[in-house]
Amino acid sequence: PDTAFFFLQINLRLILVSGKTKEFLFSPNDSAADIAKHVYDNWPMDWEEEQVSSPNILRLIYQGRFLHGNVTLGALKLPFGKTTVMHLVARETLPEPNSQGQRNREKTGESNCCVIL
């Protein structure tokens, strides 16, 4: 039974902003919050400089999106037996769904108003 359990695990390679990586095994039932807590509780020795004060500020990014705490790996349909890469960042709050577009528009100076000649 132990070998069957191994195949039902998901290998995550977590990448820090600094570029350091570490691989962890999780079950499909583990949520993003569970992963953050596990990584926090088992913080790798060579990540010492990036140590955070609380698991609650650890965020996972998968395919460019922040994962909310209750999303499970199973819900993401991640492949078993293969390595999935996610980014791990320390962030107090998650961005609002629409805030990104607003910020980009402000940067480029575009606006939604029209000029009537």
- Point out which residues pair with 23 in neighbouring strands: 13
Q: 80 with 7: CB under 8 angstroms?
A: yes
Phi and psi (nearest 5°) for 75? -65, -25
CATH code, domain carrying 86: 3.10.20.90
The ranges of the chain with pLDDT < 50 are 1, 99-108, 111
Q: Is residue 61 part of a domain?
A: yes
99 belongs to a structural domain: no
Take residue 41 and report the two structure tokens written for it: 């509780």
Has residue 110 been placed in a domain?
A: no
Q: pTM for this one? A: 0.74
pLDDT at 16: 96
pLDDT at 8: 82
Q: Is residue 95 in a domain?
A: no
Q: How far apart are CA 59 and CA 68, in angstroms?
A: 8
Where in the sequence is the domain holding 49, given as residue range(s)?
A: 10-90
The rounded mean pLDDT for the chain is: 84
Structurally, the chain folds into a number of domains equal to 1
β strands within 1-117, DSSP E: 10-15, 21-26, 58-62, 65-66, 83-90
Asked if residue 3 is part of any domain, the answer here is no
